[in-house]
Amino acid sequence: MKFLDEYRDGEAVRPLVEALQRRVTRPWTLMEVCGGQTHSIMRFGIDRLLPPAIRLIHGPGCPVCVTPVAFIDKALAIAERPGVVFCSFGDMLRVPGSAEDLLRVKSRGGDVRIVYSALDAVQLAARLPEREVVFFAVGFETTAPANALAVREARRLGLRNFSLLVSHVRVPPALEMLLASGKAQVDGFLAAGHVCAVMGTTEYLPLTARYHVPIVVTGFEPVDLLRGILDCVTQLEEGRAEVTNAYERVVAPGGNRTALALLEEVFQVVDRAWRGLGKIPRSGFALREAFADMDAELRFGVATMGGVESPECRSGEVLQGILSPPDCPAFGTRCTPEHPLGATMVSTEGACAAYYRYRRPGEA
């Protein structure tokens, strides 16, 4: 398959690994921001190909993982109401709230449905005018434009029974929080290509200038990731800190103008709480006042609900790169994909799920 098989070709990987071995002269710690990158690294054993001096740690780039417990509890409260059709991506159904998850509500008769896009939920609302249809809008800049499009389409159709429970987050403020906190020693970042395909790369420029940390945009296949790692290490070895793009076939510096215009029309930037990280200024999207009638938090009166994280779950440290999943005492024993304590063990992009799937107990 074009743009896939050739980026998994061992003959293309080998010279990148050899170049890294020649280039690195001292220890460097790189954080891959996206959970999709983490899973590719684990799946293809990329971390095992690297020189020992290069250490990869995992960042807060899993949209399911960073959705706060409070928002899961809000989703539960809405989903169990009579007359509600609650729509979500599949991963979200198994994320634990304070006491249970959406699958438990579904098992009790709640109308909880898996959809593939917010537009699917809009179509449901058009077919079921007597029901309240709610879509759980989570994710980074990647998924937000499609959800903004759904809001605009619902408005065009005059639907009064469609709303969004919005927990969208933005990547650059989270990286700044990590750098400012100093809790995780990060020498450079591998930025998520699909996020930058929407937002572009310019928002990262102030971070490299302020913290002198290179940020390299990469894709998700072995060649993409190794190109990004080599670029990042080269900058570090040369004392440079720049925003560079190792995913040119997808990412343009200015991003996707159509998608950005949709975001500007429908959403506003707000402070947002992240699971395990707390509230980060200007790190989220919320519906603009013009679309407040589609805000499920307001419609169902759940805006002030809180949530309680499992005291045993250490996903907050995992999401900050402070703790490697196998170092959590509950990993693989009291916390498994079948019985997760936190979202990082549930999501297909979660770091804990990646280690559980691709690394046997006792393996590094």
**Class for the domain spanning 1-357:** alpha beta
DSSP at 295: B
Calpha distance 304→222 (Å, rounded): 44
Write down the pLDDT at residue 4: 73
Q: Which of 260, 300, 291 is nearest to 153 (CA)?
A: 291
- Residue 290 contacts by C-beta under 8 Å, 6 or more apart in sequence? none
Task: Give pLDDT, residue 2.
Answer: 64
pLDDT recorded at residue 355? 94
pLDDT tens column, 5-39: 788 888 899 999 999 999 999 999 999 999 999 99
Question: What local confidence, expressed as pLDDT, does residue 143 receive?
Answer: 95
More confident residue, 262 or 346: 262
One-letter amino acid for residue 73 of the chain? D
pLDDT score of 183: 83
Consecutive H or E run containing 194: helix 193-199
Q: What is the pLDDT of residue 3?
A: 64
How far is residue 236 CA from its own chain's centroid? 26
pLDDT of residue 71: 95
- pLDDT for 361: 57
In this prediction, residue 347 carries a pLDDT of 86
Measured distance CA(257)–CA(66) in Å, rounded: 26
Q: In what order do the strands lie in the sheet containing 215-218?
A: 54-61, 28-34, 188-192, 215-218, 243-245
For the segment 223-241, what is each residue's pLDDT rounded down to a tens digit? 999 999 999 999 999 999 9
Q: What's the rounded mean pLDDT across residues 307-321?
A: 89
Which has more pLDDT, 326 or 360? 326
Q: How confident is the model over 54-112, as pLDDT tens digits? A: 999 999 988 889 999 999 999 999 999 999 999 999 989 999 999 999 999 999 999 99
Q: Is the pLDDT of residue 364 over 70?
A: no
Give mean pLDDT, residues 114-118.
Answer: 96
- Helical (H) or strand (E) element with 244: strand 243-245
User: Do the beta carbons of residue 89 and residue 138 sit within 8 Å?
Assistant: yes
Return the pLDDT at 363.
56
Tell me the domain boundaries of the chain. Answer: 1-357
Inform me whether the pLDDT recorded for 124 exceeds 60. Answer: yes
State residue 219's pLDDT score.
Answer: 95
Tell me whether strands 188-192 and 215-218 are parallel, antiparallel or unpaired: parallel
pLDDT tens, residue by residue, 155-211: 999 999 999 999 999 999 999 999 999 887 899 999 999 999 999 999 999 999 999
Write the burial class of residue 84 (CB in 10 Å: 0-12 exposed, 13-18 middle, 19+ buried).
buried
* pLDDT at 335 (0 to 100): 94
Pairing mode, if any, of strands 54-61 and 28-34?
Answer: parallel
pLDDT of 360 above 70: no
Dihedral angle sign, alpha carbons of residues 178, 183, 188, 192: negative
Note the pLDDT tens digit of each residue in 254-313: 999 999 999 999 999 999 999 888 899 999 999 999 999 999 999 999 999 988 888 899
Q: Is pLDDT of 1 > 70?
A: no
Looking at every residue in the chain, the average pLDDT score rounds to: 94
Q: For 301-312, give the DSSP string.
A: T-TT------TT
Residue of 289, 298, 169, 215 whose CA lies nearest to 31: 215
